[in-house]
Amino acid sequence: MDTLSLINVATWLVPVYAALVTIGGIIGYTQSKSKISLIAGLGSGAALAIATLQPPVMRFAIAALIAALLLVVFVVRFLKTRAFMPAGLMAILSGVASTLFILGFFANQTIR
């Protein structure tokens, strides 16, 4: 994948990941009345939505940080519950997202 394609993929992934995290928090609340899921989902989704409005370097840095933090949270939950849904799925999504955001950050540095 060339540098511009990587940056484009990482750019559109930020709002998509924001929506998935937000929806996941809402579903977590509606299914199990987990207020922490709602707060974490809405907070992370809002921070990611704000990141979409930032210049690329800041956008990817914020998104990578949030995705990496969520990766840790979901890996810990998965190891605790051994349940693929939702912790395993979100761990995989967060891992892929954080990797693409980091790659987008460095790819953006090379074209400057």
**What are the domain boundaries of the chain?**
3-110
Q: What is the CA radius of gyration of the chain?
A: 14
> Under a CB-based contact definition with an 8 Å cutoff, are residues 77 and 94 in contact?
no
User: CA nearest 71: which of 92, 86, 85, 52?
Assistant: 92
Over the stretch 29-85, which tens digit does the pLDDT of each residue have?
A: 999 999 999 999 999 999 999 999 999 999 999 999 999 999 999 999 999 999 999
**Tokens coding 24:** 């996941």
CA 12 – CA 8 distance, rounded (Å):
6
Q: Confidence class of residue 1 from pLDDT cuts 50, 70 and 90?
A: confident
- The full DSSP string for 49-101 is HHHTTS-HHHHHHHHHHHHHHHHHHHHHHHHHH--IIIIIHHHHHHHHHHHHH
The count of C-alpha atoms lying within 13 angstroms of the C-alpha of 44, restricted to the half-sphere facing its C-beta, is: 29
Query: How much is the average pLDDT of 2-7?
Result: 89
Global pTM value? 0.93
